[in-house]
Structure 1
């Protein structure tokens, strides 16, 4: 990273300050990601306490994806017209409100109030995600942008691992409603790092983008191509996360605990993958994005296609590691790619569009995958997932490199 980078208002970021900004934004996102996934870690406790079935319980996590899909594009349009720095601070405050609301509703056994609090948390999450990618991108030089964004997006799997591993401990000590409060401290610490080092980077210079410029993002075919890459990658990621453990239990004969432990390597390797995607693109490929996309889907396709043909546990673990690494290469890089395809004035809108389309894949894939598993079995479901990866390879081949700025 360069020693100093200039912001639009003439202020300067030292190298230490830039890294503090990236670290702070990542900590905020980590706290929100942990809040997003943590109900999954204590689902039996929540079901017993509230007297709800598995499908209804699943909405405790799914509602955040749904809220993010709906809110992402409007949030991006607002971010292009307002101060992203203050938006990040407001999102952290919103997380506190959602956490206290969910804790209180859980203690009172009010399921639908818990759901409403989670929807509010979904809006906070998408603000942090879109604003964080936008500000991290503008805080660094062009030749380090993908690396910095890759580091930020790695907060997703870190937060998931944090929520899954510590949620049961929090619930055992303080009761399950406390899981909604447990991770606000990470967001507050992140804001303390982010706030002083982001001064001057939140507000763009010049007039706000016009409606015509906003429309140019939605009418850009290459932006839709980038969104399709994100949709396919998120679909693969959530499909394997959702149905991999069931396959290992029902078809391979492993215990539920061992299946969950083995499958954990699939998202966990994303910390390395999402950071590596930017480094590979910026360093190895001199800023080109397409080679990384091709490698991502090209490697993932055969791995997903042969997944149900394996029975040896060691081979399955190796396959999950390789597939998790390959699939998440696109998850990290696609957001950098999307904002590079449009003018800087509407970059946040492009990132928001990428988020919305990608999370739509995350929302649909587990449901569609479950329908295929129920109707035709795991072999057919993983075969169709492999076909999606092949489609991703074709799209990646057609992806143009962004114009140099």
Structure 2
């Protein structure tokens, strides 16, 4: 007896196709975000167990701090070359290679840590920094292309929220992992999360990360670096990341030194500042896409306009509930720019060099992240916290001026 095959109607598959494409796009975003979350946790986790590392390797606080700082430094240097390569290559394959690189770097760091070889640990972290910047740039590139123009900023905002999620994961679980399995285990603890992310990402990204025709020429690459609109958006990222890392680095010290709180309590209170970024970075895309009809400039202008007075008055209050409220509001405001700027910059250039523009934004932004804690420390030592926060507020005011004159892609 033969079985009749089920009757199919062409219009059924046609009507389901857009829904399937949307589901695939959001699976891609989820997978890329998991990869980035694992890398962000790997990036920050040594900070959570610094005393253990110092005792085990017999190193000072400055050298120990380099375990985190080396990844920022590597990212600043490697970002532009990585972006230029991504404009000539397959972002999908680049994500897979970056995950493999992290597995190698994590294993290398674990072995070096068990042997007590500090220099080798640092070298492994530098390799991990290359993996981080490739995932960040390639992830933004491929997520942007998978999304529609109506929800692009929302999708990229969700992806960039992986940063604060990963930071919270690394800071929260690092001590537990180190206590249970030994501190070198922190270097391999989060590689599994990136592999899981790749398993989700790979099938969903089929056909999206492929090359977009001929590779951009050297002249087109140079045009990105000469583009005044790119520099304008890049400056917004630099100022935003400077504010973000300044408060992250010196907020807890202020509460401890000036208000007499314990370092544990101060750290817990200041943790709300980056944590609110999960909401803020996603909200930046939703606000831009849904409320402002795809406009980007009003969001970044509002970001600095709200942040400036909050940073300027921060040291004038002693009430803990009020200070926590200020940290929440400031963290939300600052990270609106951090979430949106990567969508913003790729829209002011030709799509053929979009990855290069994103890489430029990453490099300039992380330069601010690298410099702000150092400069903040110098000002605190020389003039105190009031002056340091006053100057940080001045950066936010500069952000207002730059955002007011910032371009609006697609609008005359």
TM over 0.5: yes
CA distance in 2: counterparts of 1:236 and 1:351, whole angstroms? 20
SS in 1 for 2:214: coil
Match of 1:237 in 2: 244
Match of 2:186 in 1: 179
RMSD of Structure 2 on Structure 1 (CA)? 1.3
Match of 1:142 in 2: 149
Matched, 1:358 2:359: no
Match of 1:66 in 2: 73
Structure 1 residues 260-275: aligned runs within 5 Å: 260-275=267-282
Structure 1 residues 192-341: aligned runs within 5 Å: 192-341=199-348
Structure 1 stretch displaced more, 13-22 or 176-185: 13-22
Change (3 A) 1:383 1:18: same
Task: Please say if residues 45 and 167 of structure 2, whose CA atoms lie closer than 8 Å, have aligned partners that are also in contact.
Answer: yes
Matched, 1:157 2:164: yes
Output the TM-score relative to the length of structure 2.
0.95
Aligned length: 398
Change (3 A) 1:210 1:90: same
Task: Please say if residues 212 and 352 of structure 2, whose CA atoms lie closer than 8 Å, have aligned partners that are also in contact.
Answer: no
Matched, 1:104 2:93: no
CA distance in 2: counterparts of 1:13 and 1:349, whole angstroms? 30
CA distance in 2: counterparts of 1:4 and 1:188, whole angstroms? 28
Gapped regions of structure 1 (runs ≥ 5): 6-11
Stretches of 4+ aligned residues off by more than 4 angstroms: 2-5
Match of 1:9 in 2: none
Output the TM-score relative to the length of structure 1.
0.97
Match of 1:388 in 2: 395
Gapped regions of structure 2 (runs ≥ 5): 1-14
CA distance in 2: counterparts of 1:233 and 1:78, whole angstroms? 26
Determine which structure has more spread, i.e. the larger CA radius of gyration: 2
Following superposition, the deviation at residue 3 of structure 1 comes to: 8.0
Task: Please say if residues 45 and 171 of structure 2, whose CA atoms lie closer than 8 Å, have aligned partners that are also in contact.
Answer: yes
Change (3 A) 1:3 1:128: farther
Match of 2:47 in 1: 40
Following superposition, the deviation at residue 204 of structure 1 comes to: 2.4
